[in-house]
């Protein structure tokens, strides 16, 4: 079963500041789709090394959303892509879709 994203880290960071929480979630909602799109574009153009840089940035968002298991896979995927290996591509895409769904609910 896929792990669920959560807002625990953001809540802790906000320390009760609702304005910050809203602002930060808006940043995620804006930035995540752009990063995902760039990642997909690099894969579609068969540029795995460039895609690994996108994964590097995306994995920070995984940790922000409490996706610790997914983060481990992202680390492997980033390293594999750097070597031109796309074996984790499918699993990573599911993680991205999981986040995409979650961001629509908050």
Partner 1 sequence: MNCIIVDDEAAARAVVAQLCSQMDDLDVIEEFPSAIDAIKFLNQHQVDVVFLDIHMPGFTGFDFVQTLKNPPKVVLTTSDRNFAIEAYEYEAIVDYLVKPLTKERFEKCLQKVKNALVKQPVQTGDNGQAETGQDLYINIDRRLIKLKFDEIQLIEARGDYIDVKTVKETYRVHSTLKKIKEKLPENIFLQIHRSFIINFTKIIDIEDNSVLIEKNVIPISRSNRPELMRRLNLL
Total site size for partner 1, rule CB under 8 A:
21
Q: Residue 52's closest CA among 85, 91, 27, 28?
A: 85
Range 21-50, binding partner 1 (CB under 8 A): 23-24, 27-28, 30-31
> Toward partner 1, which CB reaches closer, 1 or 12?
12
Q: At what angle do helices 89-105 and 48-64 cross, to 10 degrees?
A: 40
Among 3, 57, 82, 103, binds partner 1 (CB under 8 A): 57
Nearer to partner 1, 22 or 101 (CB): 22
Q: Does 14 bind partner 1 (CB under 8 A)?
A: yes
Q: Give the H/E segment covering residue 60.
A: helix 48-64
19 three-state secondary structure: helix
Residue 1 vs 15, nearer CB to partner 1: 15
Contact between 89 and 36 under an 8 Å Cβ cutoff? The reply is no
Is 102 an interacting residue with respect to partner 1 (CB under 8 A)? no
């Amino acid at each position: 079963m896929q792990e669920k994203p959560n807002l625990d880290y953001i809540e802790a960071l906000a320390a009760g500041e609702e304005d910050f929480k809203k602002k930060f979630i808006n940043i995620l909602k804006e930035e995540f789709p752009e990063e995902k799109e760039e990642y997909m574009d690099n894969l579609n153009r068969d540029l795995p090394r460039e895609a690994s840089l996108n994964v590097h940035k995306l994995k920070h968002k995984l940790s922000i959303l409490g996706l610790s298991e997914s983060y481990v896979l992202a680390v492997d995927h980033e390293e594999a892509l750097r070597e031109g290996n796309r074996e984790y591509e499918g699993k990573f895409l599911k993680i991205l879709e999981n986040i995409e769904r979650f961001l629509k609910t908050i």
